[in-house]
Structure 1
Amino acid sequence: MPRTELLISDCDGVIVDSEIISHRVLFESLSAHVPAQALEAALEGTFGLTTPSIIDLIEKRFDLQLGADFESDLRRLTEQRVAAEAQPIAHVREALIAIDLPLAVASNSRRHNVEASLRRAGLAERIAGNIFSADMVAAPKPAPDVYLLAAERMGVAPGHCIVIEDSPTGVLAARTAGMRVIGFTGASHIPEGHDRALRELGVSAVVSDMRELHSAIAGLMTSA
């Protein structure tokens, strides 16, 4: 087992409980174009897809052209709502402070949104500016770019990193980057059976409570 030199955390759904808000905004915005009941059925099983992929799916399913401004307007509204409403994941601050490893954040959100979320969670000092975001790379998750950038900038080989992720998209990105992953299933948006889905994607462990994180990481660091 390679030694562990760096912990990398996703932000949305791991540090702040924001994914449920993003989904709500997406549903409200799409409801202006699609009947709510049909939309609800169409969105089942889309957790973990990127927003552009979901928009493309809805456009094809309902033969729509949502327009060039739909995605940018949705992003702006989502950022506003997340900034106003998202709360930290329970016990995340204590958990991440207690772990004796350098810590970075790798997110599909834009940097200024990640910074706001870290301040809300009381983790800005712990992260110490080690933020790697979608606007810093050519391709967002599920591409591995943001995780590879984090490892490169922190001077750590990908195989010596442990990642905390909640979504299939993020797990695929981290695993493609050659990193071990702990799946987190404690956010409000997580569907039933999600732990099994993450295990099928190759996570090394799954935790549903941030108070379990320290022991999960210790187990990965000491197991053969």
Structure 2
Amino acid sequence: MATIDLLISDCDGVIVDSEIISHRVLFEALSLHVPAERLHEALEGTFGLTVPSIIDLIEKRFDLKLPKTFDEDLRRQSEKIVADEVQAIPGVREALIGIELPLAVASNSRLHNVESSLRRAGLIERVAGNIFCAEMVPSPKPAPDVYLLAAERMGVAPGHCLVVEDSPTGVLAARTAGMQVIGFTGASHIPAGHDVALRELGVAAVISDMRDLPKTVEWFLSR
């Protein structure tokens, strides 16, 4: 097995428990245009996607055109609410500080949001500016671009990177980039049976508690 020289973590749903907040704000905004009971079904499985991708999906599914300012209005509202309410995933700071590997963060969120989340989690110094976001690459997750950029900038071959991801979108991006993946299922938005879905996409291990991350990483390092 290839040695592991770099740990790359997603942010939303892995470092901070933000997906449940973002989904709530998105649902409330979309429910002004789509019946709530139909919206629940339409949004299943969309976490991890960018907001423009979700908007495109909803517009096509319901044959409607949302207001031109919908995306930007939603972004401002969501960023404010997440910044005010978001909490770190329990145990994530201790776990990531305790792992003796270089650490990068790769996210579909915008850079200033990731930086805000890392400050809330007490990890801004641990990451040391090694943040890579969708705005830096041609295509967001599930494309592998952001993970490949992280590996390139950190000087590590993709096959020597280990990723922590919570969403099918992120797992697909990391696996397409040629990286090994640990699936995380401990955030508030995770549905029952999600571990099975992540394993089917090729994750090598699944954890539901961040306290298990150091020993899981150690398992990869010892193989």
Alignment of 1:33-182 (within 5 A): 33-182=33-182
Q: More deviation in 64-73 or 90-99?
A: 64-73
Instruction: Name the amino acid aligned to 1:109.
Output: S
- 1:212 equivalent to 2:193? Answer no
Secondary structure of the 2:69 match is: helix
Q: Count residues with an aligned counterpart.
A: 223
| 8 Å CA contact retained: 2:104, 2:131 | yes
State the 1:90 CA deviation: 0.3
State the 1:108 CA deviation: 0.5
State the 1:221 CA deviation: 1.5
Question: Where in structure 2 are there 5+ consecutive unaligned residues?
Answer: none
Computed over aligned residues only, the root mean square deviation of the Cα atoms, in angstroms, reads: 1.1
State the 1:57 CA deviation: 2.4
Q: For residue 18 of structure 1, what is the aligned residue in structure 2? A: 18
Give the fraction of aligned pairs with identical amino acids, expressed as a percent.
76
Q: For residue 4 of structure 1, what is the aligned residue in structure 2? A: 4
| 8 Å CA contact retained: 2:48, 2:108 | no
Secondary structure of the 1:7 match is: strand
Secondary structure of the 1:146 match is: helix
- TM-score, normalising length from structure 1? 0.96
Output one character per residue of 1:17-63: Cα deviation in whole Å (capped at 9) or x when no partner.
00001100110000111122222232233334432232222222322
| Counterpart Cα distance in 1 of 2:49 and 2:115 | 23
Instruction: Name the amino acid aligned to 1:28.
Output: E
Instruction: Name the amino acid aligned to 2:186.
Output: G
Instruction: Name the amino acid aligned to 1:44.
Output: E
State the 1:67 CA deviation: 2.5
- TM-score, normalising length from structure 2? 0.96
